[in-house]
Chain A
């Protein structure tokens, strides 16, 4: 079983070689996640603000890697750049639990790195034409 060598390789991230094409499987799913999900959030389980599942997140930060944020937050900023994604999509795309994503988004919002649009409650939907549009859109699928 080949395991990446530990010696420093210049020009590679963190001095480690790129991961092998097929990840080396030295643990199985029974072991549970290698890092407990909320370790990514430093143990915090509640964001400062509630994030609806379908609240849309967008950013226009060109290079998130220069920000003082963690790799998961960089990943969030990268998938939401110029492309509004719902909180649920972010969690699904990054394969992170919703609660974790919400805390990470709370940090990004506090740092003013993202814009979040609250979903419109159906009772306040701006007129019937939106629903008509949805119906036409569904027909055309």
Chain B
């Protein structure tokens, strides 16, 4: 036994669900998959030490970070894994690992607090990870057209903006489908560009 060659039968794809605190990431992951909480025990960074009150526990150097995580089985040997990124800013360092090898990301946005999703948008843009912005329609929030949201976030024109209700399974599925379609286009364009150069 050992590391199998990558052409083995089992394939796993990773999709991240990002966005501000309380925007519905857990709800979305739970609507489309069976959700499981995942714990990581992380070293407290210097940045975190300023936020976390370590008074009386000065020797505590690790902290537990919980993430949401779900699996969608497409067929035997092909699964999609969803990871809700930790909402708090101080866990940004976890994102790098999460983003590695990701097929793409869903950035959930709440139009009442659109600025909350700026960091996620920046993160995925800088790393060239395909993403869609899904506007979670909260009751009592004004409805905006996707084009308005796209302009407000200064998105690349190719980046899809979709409206969704994170509580609805059908709506969550549509968001994921638009992401996979978009990621397919982005990757195909990259392969083409590489072949030309």
Contacts and interface: CB of A to CB of B under 8 A. Distances in A.
B contact residues, range: 35 or more
A66 interface: no
A contact residues, range: 35 or more
A120 B58 CA distance: 41
Interface string B68-97: 010110110111110100000000000001
Contact of A125 (B1, B39, B41, B187): B187
A124 B40 CA distance: 28
B72 A128 contact: no
Closest 7 CB pairs of A and B: A137-B74, A97-B41, A92-B36, A54-B12, A98-B40, A131-B184, A117-B4
Interface string B150-170: 000000000000000000010
Contacts of A130: 11, 78
Interface of B: 1-4, 6-8, 10-14, 32, 36-42, 64, 69, 71-72, 74-75, 77-81, 83, 97-98, 100-104, 169, 173, 176-177, 180-181, 183-184, 187-188, 190-191
Contact of A134 (B4, B74, B101): B74
A99 B38 CA distance: 11
Given A99-B41, A134-B180, A141-B32, A112 B2 contact: yes
B181 A133 contact: no
Interface string A65-104: 0000000000000000000101011011101111110000
A113 B1 contact: yes
Contacts of A116: 2-4
Contact of A96 (B39, B74, B181, B190): B39
Given A52-B101, A97-B41, A98-B40, A122 B13 contact: yes
Interface of A: 37-38, 49, 52-56, 58-59, 84, 86, 88-89, 91-93, 95-100, 109, 112-126, 128, 130-131, 133-135, 137-139, 141
A127 to B, nearest CB: 10
Given A88-B83, A92-B38, A119-B12, A139 B64 contact: no
Contacts of A86: 12, 71, 79, 81
A116 B10 CA distance: 10
Q: Which of B1, B187, B190 has the most CB of A within 10 A?
A: B1
A37 B183 contact: no
19 contacts: A38-B41, A53-B81, A54-B81, A84-B77, A86-B12, A89-B69, A91-B38, A97-B41, A97-B64, A98-B38, A98-B41, A113-B1, A117-B4, A117-B10, A118-B3, A118-B6, A125-B187, A135-B180, A138-B176
Contact of A54 (B14, B40, B181): B14
Contacts of A88: 38, 69, 81, 83
Contact of B39 (A91, A115, A121): A91
